[in-house]
Structure 1
Amino acid sequence: MSRFMLKHKLSNFFMQRVVVGLITLVLSCYAQAAEDPWLHLEKASQAARKLSYKGIFLYQNFQDVRSIEITHLNNGEEEFARMVTLDGQPHEALSRGKNMMVFNSNKENVMIQERQGQNLFPAILPPDIESVKAIYTLRFANQERIGGREAQIVYLEPKDQFRYLYKLWLDKEFGLILKMSILDHQQKMIEQASFNQIALFSGQDLNWFKPNVDTHKKYIMNEAPQNKISHEKYCTISNLPAGYKEVSHVTRTMGNQPQLVHHWVFSDGLSFVSLFVNPIPKDQKSRVGETRVGSSHVYARVMNGNQIMVVGAVPQATIQKISNSIQDMKAH
């Protein structure tokens, strides 16, 4: 083989290698572009539940601004969390799995309430992101530093008028939500939470998982709700806003003169709305109308002698539609 032919073959060989390399690079870029962007939300959801971390975040709800310390541990089998307000009257919440104990302190007493945990910051995303995909679109924006860490900004934009816009800052390394802003349809902030310091830890010690006890105060345990009563026997609830599902229903006694109150909670995976229904006593004035308390809308009306009240940090249209979803209410 002549030297010219050998040189020509080597030139073709290297040219082919370059072309193959370029094709591989292009395909790699396409693969990255085609990566499901919702995987970032999946990672954020898992990070808030599986990582062990401790930090302080600032929570703002209209004029209410508080600093809150959170400690969260996952030992591989269960989740434990303790949240303590650092401003004003002491308030604490201890959660183990979905069960939560809340300690609200005043000048004389500490009221203890048992609650079912709702997605609290930074674990605001549901474990199943599929429910969010159906009602929100996902959009990536710039990057910023939050609490000394690099974060990717993403927007969850609602597909209808029944929910607000979420702006999230995701930790680029671990995916944990470092900051959250909820914006209304006019882009005004309704609620915000942001870490100003956060650190991961690997220990399994649970000595911190207990409330600070004030021996000078009386601790009062609120009565647990009565056994659940099926709402089909009392009324029918249908035609809820798209994406909203019933997540709990209890019937309990409330007030100095015990009266039964039916309480439902509905959620679309991000927002939670409470529906209260109770017969109106003869000596009690009914409530009718709409109002706003902080980030929440409240809508009250009367149906067949029953007081209906819907409360939630959601758009007004959502509150009204859930209220109007009640059918076949028993007369009182």
Structure 2
Amino acid sequence: MTRALSAFFLLFVFIGQAAAASDPPPSSDQSVNELLASASQAVGRENYRGVMVYLREDQLDTLRVTHRFADGLEQERLVSLTGQPREVIRRGGVVTSILPDSQVVLISRRKRDGLLGSVTEFSAERMRRHYKVSDEGQRRLADRVGRLISIQPMDQYRYGYRMLIDEKTRLPLKLDLLRNGDVLEQLMFTEIEFPESIPDSAFEPGFDIEGFRVIKHRAVEVAEESVPKEAWTPTSLPPGFELAEDGVRRVTEDGFVRQMLFTDGVATVSAFIAPAGLRKPLDGATTMGAVNAYGHVIDDTQITVVGEVPAVTVREIAENLERGGERAQVRAPADGDG
């Protein structure tokens, strides 16, 4: 749940940064681009707290959200109000997840200069080649007035997006991920306030975690190994998608995975290429909410392509990876693959 929440916020941060970095478009487009850029800043820089609902696959989760930016440090606390008790506290790049029913505390680190950093290089002009961006006017939510921005795809290879941006603070109040006009995932504040300051106590755990088992997850490291010349390469990609980053990651002491990041300036897709047997293989297609994945084993290599894009996009990327003339032949999808 929290991974999807972060992915949604990151998506609109990238959109805003791309818009801010572009050359000035005509006045109406410029207004929308400036709004997107302001929204990307507000997500990380505003103080806010409230209640948010997260809807996906007909399942509804409710979260209490507290966010603060002070003295250059971003902090956030998410508390689940439905289902099993859960709590996530983020302080800078350190994320602490508390699972009281299991009496477990998970601690992980997320580097800010991660793999997705290069997405900011893509321009708003590039985004407009494959999406129609429009201002749908004012809407009211959680007793606040916002502007509704629509980002609609021009083909089958990407999803659509819709966000309601607060007029005063520029924080996104509602975020929708769309497929053919239908909502796949939705984040929406039902209550929100913007205090000038938030006390340190607001970011303390709400559970007594004494005696809980603590599990520390080591951050994925960028390995010194370079990508070999005979490595897998894409022969063609879905329209608008380009290779943004390509590198080798260390996932265990002696286990390495190559990760390729493709983007159209809004959506991102990752291809993971690893020795067969390193992990349980994915064979064929799988879908979890808005995320589609396609996997296949070619001789000694496991190829897995995953992204918050339609199934046709990950399948086409997987089918067009080639190593020295050896193309990754992937089975045709079953009827209904979305």
| TM superposition score normalised by structure 2 | 0.72
Alignment of 1:204-223 (within 5 A): 205-212=199-206, 213-223=208-218
What's the CA shift string for 1:68-119, capped at 9, x where partnerless?
A: 122222225332222222222333333345x241415252433333335799
User: Retained in 1: the 8 A contact 2:68–2:76?
Assistant: yes
Query: Once the 2 structures are TM-superposed, how far is the Cα of residue 252 of structure 1 from its aligned partner?
Result: 0.4
Within 2, Cα distance between the matches of 1:276 and 1:158? 26
Select 1:199's aligned residue among 185, 190, 193.
193
Within 2, Cα distance between the matches of 1:267 and 1:92? 32
- SS of residue matched to 1:37: helix
What's the CA shift string for 1:184-218, capped at 9, x where partnerless?
A: 1x222110000001111222643433444522421
- SS of residue matched to 1:319: helix
Do structure 1's residue 52 and structure 2's residue 47 form an aligned pair?
yes
Cα–Cα, structure 1 residues 152 and 310, in superposed 2: closer, same or farther, change >3 Å?
A: same
Within 2, Cα distance between the matches of 1:92 and 1:217? 14
Letter in 2 for 1:55: G
- SS of residue matched to 2:72: coil
User: Retained in 2: the 8 A contact 1:91–1:102?
Assistant: no
Partner of residue 310, structure 1:
305
Cα–Cα, structure 1 residues 247 and 148, in superposed 2: closer, same or farther, change >3 Å?
A: farther
User: Retained in 2: the 8 A contact 1:303–1:329?
Assistant: no
Do structure 1's residue 188 and structure 2's residue 188 form an aligned pair?
no
Within 1, Cα distance between the matches of 2:49 and 2:280? 47
Partner of residue 63, structure 1:
58
Do structure 1's residue 288 and structure 2's residue 283 form an aligned pair?
yes
Letter in 1 for 2:131: Y
Within 2, Cα distance between the matches of 1:314 and 1:73? 31
Partner of residue 8, structure 1:
none
Partner of residue 151, structure 1:
146
Partner of residue 15, structure 2:
none
Do structure 1's residue 273 and structure 2's residue 249 form an aligned pair?
no
Within 2, Cα distance between the matches of 1:139 and 1:34? 8
Within 1, Cα distance between the matches of 2:109 and 2:85? 17
Partner of residue 245, structure 2:
246
- SS of residue matched to 2:196: coil
Within 1, Cα distance between the matches of 2:286 and 2:106? 27
- SS of residue matched to 1:162: coil
Within 2, Cα distance between the matches of 1:156 and 1:38? 12
Within 2, Cα distance between the matches of 1:329 and 1:112? 41
Query: Once the 2 structures are TM-superposed, how far is the Cα of residue 279 of structure 1 from its aligned partner?
Result: 1.5
Cα–Cα, structure 1 residues 96 and 273, in superposed 2: closer, same or farther, change >3 Å?
A: farther
Partner of residue 91, structure 1:
86
Within 2, Cα distance between the matches of 1:231 and 1:88? 44
Partner of residue 9, structure 1:
none
Please, which moves more after superposition, 307-316 or 190-199?
307-316
% same residue: 25
Within 1, Cα distance between the matches of 2:130 and 2:35? 17
- SS of residue matched to 1:179: strand
| TM superposition score normalised by structure 1 | 0.73
Query: Once the 2 structures are TM-superposed, how far is the Cα of residue 179 of structure 1 from its aligned partner?
Result: 0.4
Query: Once the 2 structures are TM-superposed, how far is the Cα of residue 237 of structure 1 from its aligned partner?
Result: 3.8
Within 1, Cα distance between the matches of 2:122 and 2:314? 24
Letter in 2 for 1:151: G
Letter in 1 for 2:176: S
Unaligned runs of 5+ in 2: 1-25, 327-338
Do structure 1's residue 79 and structure 2's residue 74 form an aligned pair?
yes
What's the CA shift string for 1:230-275, capped at 9, x where partnerless?
A: 5622724445542452388622029xxx854444555555434343
**Number of residues of Structure 1 aligned to a counterpart in Structure 2:** 290
Unaligned runs of 5+ in 1: 1-30, 120-124
Structure 1 or 2, whichever has the larger Rg, is: 1
Letter in 1 for 2:158: R
- SS of residue matched to 1:253: coil
